Structure 1
Amino acid sequence: MSARIEIASEAGACYGVERALRMVEDAAKSSEVPVHTLGPLIHNPRVVSGLAEKGVTVVSSPEESAGDTLLLRTHGVTPDEERRARELCHEVLDATCPFVKKVHQAAARLAREGYQVVVVGEAGHPEVEATLPHAPGAVVVGSADEAAALPSCKKIGVVVQTTQSRANLEKVVAALLGRAEEVRVVNTICDATSGHQGACAELAARADVMVVIGGRISANTKRLAEIASGLCPRTHHIEGADELDPSWFDGAELVGITAGASTPASQIAAVRTAIESIVA
């Protein structure tokens, strides 16, 4: 008997990614000058490669796109990078996710109000790096242990990388309560992130095999793979259908599929079709 295939109730490209992809597609068609993105537009190597085939290249600084059209990546850029881009480029299109913009605004507001700003997230991640300049002196913590090691201060204000888990945020905040007289938390986790994670957990708890689709550099996809692995040992993180191994599905009755926020519906459909041909 063939296995049943089920896609998580919430999976795949979020609003910010879909918006950015529409923007870059429109720019590629209409721009009279070359089109570039400042850093990878999204953390999906296959999508980025597809854009390159259409002539949209990745640059690492605004200076590399002087006189051309430049899209600011979904994860955001620093205020200095945006200023330089607007001075140098023919046109600047801001594809920063609106939810990431809210993190920038919250961090800046907390800093103005005298809080020591703590960004809960992954040090070095583009979203976190773009957030820090909005709150001079802000620090990044990725775990409760790191939070507990911070020096004591009067007021701590917390913002969160949009793709963090609610569980990690709660652990970090609990640790920070012992480091300040006042801890103010602005929960900037994206609703899509929470929805994807909850739907992934629900499906993984029932599935015999889980397939998680998305870039290996994608923070939210890696987190989905971690959640799925904790509930379904036969979890596999892939970037595309060509990575599927038929042996993964031996004896499986239910195959679950989920995908990160940078994974378009077309990639999910391709993986589902490939699995159907394997388990039929």
Structure 2
Amino acid sequence: MNARHEEKNTTQRFQWSRWGGPGLALLLLAGAGTYTLVARRAPVGAAPEQSAPPAEGRTPESSTAKAAGSVRAPPRSAPATSAAPVAPQATGAASAPAVALTEAEQAQELAQHREAVRQAARTYRTGRFNAFFREEPFLKEFAQGGPAQLAALKAELSDPAALTSLSADTQFLQNKPEAVLDRMSMIDILYSMAPKDPAARDTMVELLLEPVDRGLPDTAKKGLVGEKYDLLFRLAQLDRQLALDSYARLDSPKMKSLLREALMAGLAESGATMDEVQRLMRTL
């Protein structure tokens, strides 16, 4: 019995050594092959994978920045500067209130302006026939006197004192006296200023419409009618309609009769044909 048991154990050991040995060897060989395959695909000592270099123009972030994340601090704005206080503009000294002139002072000032007008009329009358006389600068300087200058000119022509002093045999067509020539020159100044100065034109109309005092000497009345004739003749050349309207405003029928020819001559001088003159006169 012991012999059979020993034989059985011997047979089992033989079987294990027969099949177990080669099986173990195959198992070891298979493991070695697997190891060899893995070793070939991943060689020992391969360098670790490196990160790509940073793009050109960019600096690598520091560890502090990585720890803080990719959020960057907003750029610091320039400190707000308060606007400098604007200094108040210096105001000029308050102009002194205009002092009202007394009647005597007003009369004296008007007399000075009238004397200046008489001097200007004489200069204009003699200078117009001088080749070196400059009319435009003269008129510009005269206009610088403003309304006071025109008021003085009107006062001078409205005052018949210079005409009342003339003798009864004074001739107005030939050998005119200096006083008459000066007054005619004043009308010439108004006429020369009127195209650019409406105030001068209005002054011509006002002088035309002023009534003639019947108590004046005949010489003075003749002189005043002659001046109105000249005013209406010049006014019709400047503004036809204004001349027609001013003529219609004359109160005296006798004055209208005396000045009718002046109006027609002025309209014709302005360029109107005889038919146009007749048509315009029929509207009156």
TM-score under structure 1 length normalisation: 0.20
More strand as a share of residues:
1
Asked which structure has the greater CA Rg, the reply is 2
Normalised by the length of structure 2, the TM-score is 0.20
Higher helix share: 2
